[in-house]
C-alpha cells in the first residue's frame, strides 16, 4: 500500500440513506427494526461502498452505516455501562451531555463489528479500513461511577479494543483506525496515559493502525469552540512528537479550512499522514483544484508515498449528494497532484 502515491481514503463515516435514518442529524434513530434493520444496514453499507468506489477512493470503509454514533454504538455492546441511568457531564470541555454511567467492570462478551467487517471484506477487492473509538474518547463520553480513574477506565477499554481489533484484523481488514478527537483537548493526559492506552489498543496487530485526531464535526458546539482557539491551532504540536515515537503507523488529521500550521506535520516524520483535504463542516463541495492545493501544501512536509488525501472528519451529518460530491472532489484533486508528480 505504501508504494503507491497519494492513495485516497476517508476519515470513516458517510451519510445514511433516509429510509434507514433521518438525514443531517447525529445520533439519528433507526427507521427500521429487527431483521429489516439488519438487512437495511447491509444494503446501506453496499451503497456507501459503491459511492466510494465510483468516486475512485482507494482505501474504503463501511461508511459506519451500522452505527448510530462513532463512540456510543461500541460502548452499548459492552457490559458494565448502564444506559438507563444518566448523568450530565461536560464532553471534551465543550458541551454538556446526558451520558451513561459506568456501574461495574467493563467487558466485551462478543465481537461488536466483526460481522460488519466480514460483510465489507466480501464486497470489495480494495483495501478496507475499519474505525473504532479511541480509549480516551470513550472515557470522555461517560460518567465513571466505578473505577473513579480516567486512566484505569481507559486501560480497561484499551484491552477491550485490542481484542476487537485482533478479530477485525483476522477478518481481512487492512487498516484499523482509532478515533481520538479527545487528543486535541486533553494534551496533558495524552502524555500521562492517553498514548499508553492507544498503544495498548494496537498491541500485537500486524495490520496498519491509524489514529484520527480532529476538531470535530461541523456542529454548533465545535464551531463555537474553534472560534476560541486563536489564529493558529497548535493542539497537534504536543501530541505529534509522541505519535512519531509510537507504533501507530498513520495519523489522520484536519487541514482543509483549518488554522493548523502545516509545518507541524514535519513532526510526523516516518509516519503515514492522512491529510484532511475535505472540510466536513461546510456544505460547499470543494473543487478538485482546492483539494489539490491542500495536498500540495502538505507535500512540503510529507513525502508522496506517506501522504494519503482524506477528509477532515466523518461526513455523517452531510447530505448524501454533498458527500458524494466531496468524495469525487477528493479523488479528482489527488489525481491532479499525482499527475504533477509523475
Ligand atoms: Zn473527526
- Where in the chain are the domains? 34-341
- How many CA atoms lie less than 13 Å away from 69 in the CB half-sphere? 14
Lookup: cell for 68: 448510530
Report CA(216)–ligand 1 centroid distance (Å).
5
SS3 (DSSP) at 275 = strand
CA angle 276, 283, 93 (to 5 degrees): 65
Strands across the sheet with 143-144, in order?
A: 79-91, 95-107, 143-144
Residue 190, C-alpha cell as written in the block: 495524552
Cell numbers 472528519 correspond to: 313
Residue with cell 451503497: 47
CA of 64 to the centre of ligand 1 (A): 13
- Indicate the CATH number of 34-341 among 1.10.2020.10, 3.20.20.210, 3.10.620.30, 3.40.50.410: 3.20.20.210
Q: What angle do CA 316, 72, 88 make, to 5 degrees?
A: 110
Taking the centre of ligand 1 as the mean of its atom positions, its distance from the CA of residue 18, in whole angstroms, is 23
Q: How far is 277 from 285, CA to CA, in rounded Å?
A: 11
Centroid of ligand 1 to alpha carbon of 310 (angstroms) = 11
User: How many A from CA of 128 to the centre of ligand 1?
Assistant: 18
User: In the chain, which stretches have pLDDT less than 70?
Assistant: 1-3
Torsion of CA 2, 6, 11, 17, to 10 degrees: -120
From the list 74, 133, 82, the residue with the least C-alpha distance to 105 is: 82
Give the ranges where the chain is alpha helix by DSSP (H): 34-55, 72-76, 114-123, 135-139, 150-170, 187-189, 195-201, 220-227, 236-244, 288-299, 320-341
Q: Give, as residue ranges, everything with CB less than 5 Å from ion ligand 1.
A: 214, 313
| Angle formed at CA 267 by CA 287 and CA 216, multiple of 5 degrees | 50
Q: How far, in Å, from the CA of 179 to the mean position of ligand 1?
A: 7
pLDDT of 303: 96
The count of other CB atoms within 10 Å of the CB of residue 192 is 12
* Residues counted in the chain: 342
* Local structure of residue 267 (DSSP, 8 states): G
Q: Are strands 95-107 and 79-91 parallel, antiparallel or unpaired?
A: antiparallel
CA 252 to ligand 1 center in whole angstroms: 9
Radius of gyration of the chain (CA): 19
Residue whose C-alpha cell reads 472532489 in the numeric block = 329
What's the CA-to-centroid distance between 218 and ligand 1, angstroms?
Answer: 10
- Grid cell, residue 303, equals 513525502
Question: 213 C-alpha vs ligand 1 centroid, how far in Å?
Answer: 6
CA of 337 to the centre of ligand 1 (A): 25
Q: Are 324 and 55 in contact (CB under 8 A)?
A: yes
* pLDDT in the model for residue 90: 85
Residue 193, CA distances (Å) to 126, 132, 146, 152, 221 in order: 35, 19, 19, 9, 26
Pairwise CA distance, residues 53 & 192, whole Å? 41
**Nearest in space to 125 (alpha carbons), one of 167, 174, 169:** 174
Closest CA to 84 of 104, 106, 99: 99
CA 99 to ligand 1 center in whole angstroms: 20
What does the pLDDT read at residue 1?
44
Q: What is the pLDDT of residue 2?
A: 42
Distance 342 CA to ligand 1 centre (A): 31
Instruction: Answer yes or no: pTM beyond 0.85.
Output: yes
Q: How far apart, in whole angstroms, are the C-alpha atoms of residue 276 and residue 265?
A: 12
Residue 228 Cα, ligand 1 centroid: separation in angstroms? Answer: 18
What is the pLDDT, as a whole number, of residue 3? 58
For ligand 1, the distance from its centroid to the CA atom of residue 340, given in whole angstroms, is 29
Please calculate the CA angle 209-253-317 and round it to the nearest 5 degrees.
Answer: 100
Amino acid at each position: 500500500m505504501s508504494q503507491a502515491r497519494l492513495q485516497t481514503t476517508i476519515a470513516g463515516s458517510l451519510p445514511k440513506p433516509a429510509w434507514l435514518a433521518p438525514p443531517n442529524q447525529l445520533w439519528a434513530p433507526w427507521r427500521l427494526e429487527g431483521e429489516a434493520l439488519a438487512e437495511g444496514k447491509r444494503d446501506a453499507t453496499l451503497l456507501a461502498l459503491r459511492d466510494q468506489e465510483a468516486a475512485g477512493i482507494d482505501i474504503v470503509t463501511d461508511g459506519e452505516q451500522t452505527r448510530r454514533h462513532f463512540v456510543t454504538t461500541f460502548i452499548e455492546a459492552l457490559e458494565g455501562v448502564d444506559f438507563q441511568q444518566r448523568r450530565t457531564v461536560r464532553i471534551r470541555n465543550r458541551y454538556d451531555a446526558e451520558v451513561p454511567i459506568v456501574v461495574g467492570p467493563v467487558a466485551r462478551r462478543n465481537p461488536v463489528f466483526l460481522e460488519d467487517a466480514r460483510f465489507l471484506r466480501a464486497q470489495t477487492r480494495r483495501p478496507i479500513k475499519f474505525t473504532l473509538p479511541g480509549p480516551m474518547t470513550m472515557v470522555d463520553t461517560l460518567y465513571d461511577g466505578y473505577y473513579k480513574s480516567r486512566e484505569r477506565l481507559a486501560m480497561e477499554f484499551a484491552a477491550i479494543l485490542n481484542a476487537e481489533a485482533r478479530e477485525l484484523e483476522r477478518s481481512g481488514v487492512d487498516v484499523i483506525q482509532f478515533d481520538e478527537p479527545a487528543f486535541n483537548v486533553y494534551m496533558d493526559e495524552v502524555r500521562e496515559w492517553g498514548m499508553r492506552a492507544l498503544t495498548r489498543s494496537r498491541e500485537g496487530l500486524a495490520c496498519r493502525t491509524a489514529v484520527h485526531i480532529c476538531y470535530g464535526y461541523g456542529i454548533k458546539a465545535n464551531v463555537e469552540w474553534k472560534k476560541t482557539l486563536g489564529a493558529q491551532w497548535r493542539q497537534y504540536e504536543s501530541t505529534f512528537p509522541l505519535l512519531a515515537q509510537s507504533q501507530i503507523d498513520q495519523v489522520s488529521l484536519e487541514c482543509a479550512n483549518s488554522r493548523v500550521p502545516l509545518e507541524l506535520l514535519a513532526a510526523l516524520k516516518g509516519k503515514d499522514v492522512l491529510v484532511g483535504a475535505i472540510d466536513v463542516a461546510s456544505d460547499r463541495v470543494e473543487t478538485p483544484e482546492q483539494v489539490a492545493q491542500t495536498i500540495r501544501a502538505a507535500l512540503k512536509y510529507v513525502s508522496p508515498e506517506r501522504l494519503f488525501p482524506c477528509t477532515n472528519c466523518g461526513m455523517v451529518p452531510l447530505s448524501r449528494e454533498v458527500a458524494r460530491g466531496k468524495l469525487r472532489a477528493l479523488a479528482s484533486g489527488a489525481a491532479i497532484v499525482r499527475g504533477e508528480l509523475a
